[in-house]
Amino acid sequence: MDLRGVGVGRGIAVGPIRRMPDPLPEPDDAAHPGDAAAEFAAAQAAFAAVAAELTARGATAGGAARDVLEAAAMMAQDPTLADDVKARIDAGKTGQRAVFEAFRAFQDLLIGMGGYMAERATDLGDVSQRIIAHLRGVPAPGVPQSETPFILVATDLAPADTALLDLDKVLGLITREGGPTSHTAILARSKSIPAIVGVTGALELVDGTLVIMDAAADLITPAPSAALIADAKSRIAARAAVASIPIVDGALADGTKVPLLANVGSPEDGPAAVELGAEGVGLFRTEFLFLDSKTAPSVQDQQEKYSALLSYFPGKKVVVRALDAGADKPLAFLNSAHEENPALGLRGLRALRASEQILLDQLTALKAAQDATAADLWVMAPMVADAEETRYFVELAKSLGLKTVGVMAEVPSLAVMADQVFAAADFVSVGTNDLTQYTMAADRMLGSVASYQDPWHPAVLRLVKMLGDAGAAAGKSVGICGEAAADPQLAVVLVGLGATTLSMTPAALADVRAELATVTLEQARRKALAALASSTAAGARAAAAAA
């Protein structure tokens, strides 16, 4: 029976599956021999060893994997966790049991917070397993070894495993848990590995079973026929051929220009984006400067990082998103108050308004970077709800000397007020991940409602059309910077709805570039109208394909 999940990317893989080993068994709830100091010293040594191992793996992996692994290493050095472990050992627990209980308690806390923090619970569990394995003197569970290529199946994958996958052996990833923004998904995209996450029934697949996994179709086919295998291999060859086509600027078959931009998370991502043909940056996430800091970075530190990225794109557009943090990504210096529903709380621009000096410092640093480089800098605010918030951000940024200022459309109310928003903003960029989440009232981190997190849903597409129409009437840019832009078929529909630029993970640029070149603007609009007339996401996808 076919299995379905949430596909990451457009890749296809054919091969036998290999299951991740089971996690280490839970430590016995037994008292230690009596020397609490020695027990804690051993735990401290294990913490330090795991932190060093994760940091070293990050340095080897580089790129997005390095950032993920360094964040995991910081978990292994968290003084709050160490204090909790010590207290449990002093109360009589063994080091192994104390680590297990302390980390499990923190995982439960993160899961209860939901959103971004809930996704980090898996990472914390991996760190716990590694520390316990070190205390036991056994290898930590990890990716199975194999002499032949295979498709990896797991409950979920830890950053330390995903970051250093042997791409000559691992053809694709299938996980029971996880969503489109989990670390498994993020790293799969950065490595161009086909992945399908949130697959009910994934753990029922038997080692050695041959499967076809089609990330674009969100589909896993166990024990496929010879005809299906031949078809899949043909499509794999076709995708490889697309990747080898000389890079040109994004355009439709009739010559209509559609600039293809890159989503990046740090300056180090710049060279790879350029190499893959990015015509600029449509989303530069600035959170990397803030999330691992106990205090807000200085204006000088920020300027240096922003200038480093801008230097890779002389004369080209680089869209920088102001700090997108808050209750779902708590920062002690921004907003650490507990909220029952962080996705609807003090986050994005709301949090920045409440701590305006942090916003002023960031905009000041961006102005200095704008003046120091030749890139065409655009700046936008996250999580903007209406025209009043738009005016606040645009007026503030322009008073500091920034030239091109806009907002992100992630909240449905912004699309409803699109005409007023465009009267104040220079541009709007649509974050389809959050726009879909809020339109469908489905947490994008929650596997049980992953089926609702589909940007093909006509409700989401109608909001994009409202923005596209308002942008066209105002003569202003409407960009797409969510994951929807990385879906070649959906990219065509988005252009038909009025999107003027598309921004995506750099690995998706070749597929989208090739697909856009097959349709005219009139054909794209026809496909968009067919999708809008549907009542379901699946129906919209099928209608667009047939139009």
Please answer whether residues 399 and 447 qualify as being in contact, where contact means their C-beta atoms are separated by less than 8 angstroms: no
Closest CA to 287 of 375, 351, 194: 351
Cα–Cα distance, 288 to 77 (Å, whole number): 19
Cα–Cα distance, 289 to 269 (Å, whole number): 14
Cα–Cα distance, 287 to 297 (Å, whole number): 11
- Helices 488-496 and 521-532: crossing angle, nearest 10°? 90
Give Cα separations from 360 to 283, 335, 353, 399, 454 (angstroms): 20, 16, 10, 11, 35
What residues pair up with 263 in beta bridges, in sequence order?
283
Which one-letter DSSP state was computed for residue 428? E
Give Cα separations from 479 to 43, 253, 380 (angstroms): 50, 20, 11
Please answer whether residues 458 and 532 qualify as being in contact, where contact means their C-beta atoms are separated by less than 8 angstroms: yes
Mode of pairing for the β-strands spanning 210-214 and 219-222: antiparallel
What residues pair up with 264 in beta bridges, in sequence order?
284
Catalytic residue ranges: 183, 481
- Residue 518: exposed, middle, or buried by beta-carbon count in 10 A (0-12, 13-18, 19+)? exposed
Instruction: Extract the tokens encoding 199.
Output: 């697959």
- Chain centroid offset of residue 173 CA: 16
Determine phi and psi for 354, rounding to 5 degrees.
-75, -20
- Residue 124: exposed, middle, or buried by beta-carbon count in 10 A (0-12, 13-18, 19+)? buried
Give Cα separations from 109 to 104, 292, 427 (angstroms): 9, 19, 39
Determine phi and psi for 418, rounding to 5 degrees.
-60, -40
